[in-house]
Copies of this chain bind each other. A is one copy, B any other.
Amino acid sequence: MLNSLVSSRDLGRHTIELLLRNAEAYGNQEQTGGSDGTVVHLFFENSTRTDLSFQVAAQRLGLRTLNFDVAHSSASKGESLLDTLETLEALGVDVVVIRHQRDWPKELAGAKLNLGLVNAGSGTFEHPTQALLDALTMRQSFGNLKGLKITIVGDIRHSRVARSNLHILTELGANVQFAGPDIFRPNDLVEVPWVDLDAAVEETDVLMMLRVQHERHAERIDMRSYHESYGLTEERLARLRKDAIIMHPGPVNRGVEICTAAMEDPRSQILRQVSNGVGVRMAVLDWCLQGGKHGKLVSA
């Protein structure tokens, strides 16, 4: 039975640790391979870096990948997702990487498929591989996440990145807090501290700025005033701790979430996050294909 990664809550601390260690081992290898299987991307929502990152990961593992043009497929013309997945299984596909503008499709719960499914971002639900690569990036900077103070800033209410990070970072012992405009404060997640950004920058270890979704908020938000109130301005950058790190899932709206000086600041880990994404997706794809409850360790 293949493994699936739908929610960060599917992963206990043991498996998270295994995936992070394997991701790091893969990251040090130029050429890997040895795995066997066929992966297809079912992207109902556009993505550049997640798509490319999974492509690179599959290629490095030596997996076969299929091009599935969802926009022109029967999947977008009324065929149920379950029928599409059964067809992919019959074609010999092993792992399906799904990105969806909706929350993870309910019809998949309890489906009997001999496929590994990977959530590559779904609605406002979860984006677990992003959270894993974020955790890996923090571990590389700090060695350990235990007791780390992490401030996630922006549209928490609609953020699948914040939701996946909250679980994984907490599981690894970190203390997560949120900041942002009141209209973006979530109704659930009341256990997480809601803090003032200007106070937080001076004490946080990690400042994770979320992307403002122009397409969603163009009418409600003035970008310049957003930057002043909730962005990493040059002024806040100056007050950020010397040993803190700056993170962003990308793509960055320069001058909105982050000023250009912060992009180029040595504390920025934004490009390292991208690099870590490849190793994390290799570890996840490999873990799906291995099956079994925990998976095995890759030698570096």
Q: Report A's interface with B, CB cutoff 8 A.
A: 30-31, 36, 38, 40, 46, 48-49, 51-53, 55-56, 59, 64, 66-69, 72-75, 77-80, 83-84, 86-93, 214, 250-254, 271-272, 274-275, 277-278
Contacts and interface: CB of A to CB of B under 8 A. Distances in A.
20 contacts: A30-B36, A38-B59, A46-B72, A48-B68, A52-B66, A52-B68, A52-B88, A55-B67, A56-B64, A56-B66, A56-B92, A59-B64, A67-B67, A79-B251, A83-B251, A83-B254, A87-B250, A87-B271, A90-B274, A91-B278
A93 B275 CA distance: 10
Copies of this subunit: 3
A254 B73 contact: no
A72 B274 CA distance: 19
Q: Which of A55, A77, A90 has the most CB of B within 10 A?
A: A90
Nearest to A277: B91
Contact of A251 (B74, B91, B250, B254): B74
Nearest to A273: B90
Given A56-B66, A91-B277, 7 more contacts: A38-B59, A49-B74, A52-B91, A56-B91, A59-B66, A92-B275, A92-B278
Nearest to A45: B72
Contact of A83 (B38, B72, B79, B252): B252
Contact of A90 (B40, B46, B272): B272
Q: Which of A38, A74, A77, A92 has the most CB of B within 10 A?
A: A92
A66 B72 contact: no
Nearest to A40: B52
A226 B87 CA distance: 25
Contacts of A84: 48, 251
Contacts of A79: 251-252
A248 to B, nearest CB: 11
Nearest to A55: B66
A131 to B, nearest CB: 18
Contacts of A250: 87
Contacts of A83: 251-252, 254
Contacts of A64: 56, 59
Contacts of A67: 55, 67
Contacts of A40: 52
Given A56-B38, A79-B251, A80-B254, A275 B48 contact: no
Contacts of A30: 36
A93 B274 CA distance: 12
A28 to B, nearest CB: 12
A41 to B, nearest CB: 9
A48 B73 CA distance: 5
Given A73-B48, A75-B48, A90 B271 contact: yes
